[in-house]
Amino acid sequence: MKKAVLMVLLLAVVRPAIAAESSSTSDDGASSVFTAGEIVVTGKKAESAETVTSERMEMLGKMSLSSAANILPGVNISNVGGRNEGMIYVRGFDMRQVPLYLDGVPLYVPYDGYVDPNRFLTASLSEVNVSKGFTSVLYGPNTLGGAINMISRKPEKKLEGNVMAGGSYGDEQIDAGFGAVNIGSNQGKWYVQTGLSRLSRDFMPLSSSYEPVKNEDGGERGNSDNRDRNATVKVGYTPNSTDEYSITVNSQHSVKGVPVYVGSNPKQSVRFWRYTNWDKTSLYYIGRTSLGEKSYLKTKAYFDNYYNTLESYDNATYSTQKTSSAFSSCYDDHTIGGFVEFGTSVMQNNVLKVALHDKYDMHNEIGDAGEEALKFADNTFSIAAENTWSASDHLSVIAGVRQDFRSTIEAQEFTDSTHTAIHSFELEDNQATNAQLAVVGRLDAQQSVTGYVARTTRFPTLKDRYSYRMGKAIANPGLDPETSLNYGLDYAFRPSGKFSLQASIYQSKLDDTIQQVNNVVGTLWQMQNTGKSTFSGFENSVDWQPESWLKAHVAYSYIDRQNDSRPDLVFTDVPKHKLNGYVQFLLNRETWLLVESEYNTKRYSTSDGLYTAGAYGLVNLHMNAGLSKSLSLHATVNNLFDRNYEVAEGYPEAGREYVVSMNYAF
């Protein structure tokens, strides 16, 4: 019935829909933002502490989503080392709890809820929005700790674009090459935007201070190559100033190695893994139509396919698969979904939005040749309402509520060692209630204060509930949703165009926290609702331009995460303190020198607290020369002092690397 309601509404829309509200523009030049892909809370302007524009990504040489998001306060990056996947944490929440979107369309993988942010290149993006604390209920389910929304480009001119190419040098040889082409045309009533980007890395260079160990002799990090290719085509139709229709195809193809563990934890096994395919293709439609002067209808429909092949080999030659630890594993996942949003401001000083979401996830797990595929499927439906009341010129009140429903359609397992007999797990359904309230006060033209409280939830993933983790864990079909009660106070101060300050203090009280619990039966572990946890923190950022030739940016983040029910379990992968920023010296807008730095304190890598990745500080040097109005040369020295460091214990990061690129814009 729920799916039928949504499909009727989707099919009933003759013209797609747009919110009849003005969209904000970036203050640093990102004029080609595809605003139809944004999800905006009316009355609560997104601050720069939550947005990374394409100009800033290009200036700092951030070619992947992970590195771009890491610019922001309250955001940390780490690695799932055993799979060579990046991980983004937002105020301590990982990417199962902070899902990833492209133009508001969910991209997270159905089975485990993760998607590798290192695979997504930034060359075709106009901006990255990271929602923290108070996240619009219109995003849909599972935004326990926020949301990350990549916004694509939209052309403004009859012909515009850029061509970029470059390479990097490490360990005394060329280690990678990259390039991108973006071409767009806006002909008034229709537009087209295309983009193609590629990164080809032969290896990651280790620091000269890295000390060789059994499985890693230094220099070129073993099995650290990757090939990433992203292609995007968007076609849009804008019959008037308020209505818009667009269809987008986004395709990501990757091949990557998985460097082996080289730490000191005896429980960590050495795996000889390679992903011979990591492919993600999304096809989505976004429409928006004004219904009179005060109402609108917005619709989205999407299909997403995720396909990967993991090969486990016998040894570091990566050529044979004869031992018991060798295998081939293939994921073939599909997502079909839709979204309908109706908004109206017929009541004076009030905007009401109502939305329906429906998302059907299918996971097919294909093992070695001859085995039957195991099938898993979930359906998630939600209904949400968000209301913004402008009580006065200086005060707005925002209230939202969403009810989510998750139905397990199918979940299978093998019941014999030969993997021929298939049995169905116990199928359980869940529902969850989300609600939030915010008060936005504009103290004057330069200052604003926002206080909020929000109850958010996340359903456990298929992997959380049903995976045996290669015989090391116990399935738990009865896992309950995680919940979090988030409190926060945000302050923004913008006295002039040369200075801005933003600060936030927050606390999240988690209940039914889903966490790995070791030694449940013998040495087997299990994902369990471990009880209550508390995340508390503070973050701020300052931008300052005292002179026309000098700019500075600094951001600081502090977080403390405690498992109140199980104090013996520590949370991993996020440092308590992070300090980052840069100083830029400008000869003119196109020619400048920039010094970027970052410092992180230590972080735990295991929940027992025995193994950690130590504190580290990095300095990067960037130089840009405007050779003409359209042509520029960019040079970077990453990890200038060749620091040997880790963000996950046993997985060293890159040492000093020299990067050169040229960009031609038209």
pLDDT digits (tens, 9 = 90+) for 164-200: 999 999 999 999 999 999 999 999 999 999 999 999 9
Q: What is the pLDDT of residue 418?
A: 67
Determine contact, residues 494/449, Cβ cutoff 8 Å.
no
Q: What does each C-alpha distance from 537 to 488, 503, 604, 646 come to in angstroms? A: 10, 11, 17, 23
pLDDT band at 32 (very low <50, low <70, confident <90, very high): confident
CA terminus-to-terminus distance, the chain: 51
pLDDT of amino acid 51: 94
pLDDT grade for 46, boundaries at 50, 70 and 90? low
Query: Which residue is associated with the tokens 């799932």?
Result: 80
Q: Is the pLDDT of residue 103 over 70?
A: yes
Task: Say how far apart CA 132 and CA 642 lie, in whole Å.
Answer: 33
Q: Which amino acid belongs to residue 290?
A: S
Quote the pLDDT of residue 531.
85
Say how far apart CA 644 and CA 173 lie, in whole Å.
19
Q: Is the pLDDT of residue 476 over 80?
A: yes
- Give 471's pLDDT tier (boundaries 50, 70, 90): confident
**CA dihedral of 235, 241, 243, 246, whole degrees rounded to 10:** 10
The pLDDT of residue 16: 35
Least confident of 18-27, 205-214, 642-651: 18-27
Instruction: Say whether pLDDT at 19 is over 60.
Output: no
- 132 pLDDT band (50/70/90 cuts)? very high
Q: Confidence class of residue 566 from pLDDT cuts 50, 70 and 90? A: confident
Q: Which helix (H) or strand (E) holds 173?
A: strand 173-186
How far from 324 is each of 312, 314, 315, 320, CA to CA, in Å? 10, 9, 12, 12
What pLDDT was estimated at residue 49? Answer: 67
Give the model's pLDDT for residue 4: 40
Residues 123-130, mean pLDDT to the nearest whole number: 96
Q: What is the mean pLDDT of the chain?
A: 91
Residue 62 pLDDT exceeds 90: yes
Q: What is the pLDDT of residue 514?
A: 86
pLDDT value for 368: 67
**Per-residue confidence (pLDDT) for residue 192, from 0 to 100:** 98
Mean pLDDT of 377-385: 97
pLDDT at 577: 98
> Which pLDDT band holds residue 90 (cuts at 50, 70, 90)?
very high
pTM score over 0.85: yes
Which tops the pLDDT comparison, 658 or 29? 658
- Please tell me the number of Cα atoms within 13 Å of 282 on its side-chain side: 25
User: What is the pLDDT averaged over residues 632-658?
Assistant: 98
CA distance linking residue 231 with residue 218, whole number of Å: 34
pLDDT band at 482 (very low <50, low <70, confident <90, very high): very high
Positions of E strands within 318-419: 327-344, 350-366, 374-392, 395-414
Q: What is the dihedral of CA 451, 148, 430, 404, to 10 degrees?
A: 60
Each residue of 284-342: pLDDT tens digit? 999 999 999 999 999 999 999 999 999 999 999 999 999 988 999 999 999 999 999 99
List of domains in the chain: 2-665 (2.40.170.20)
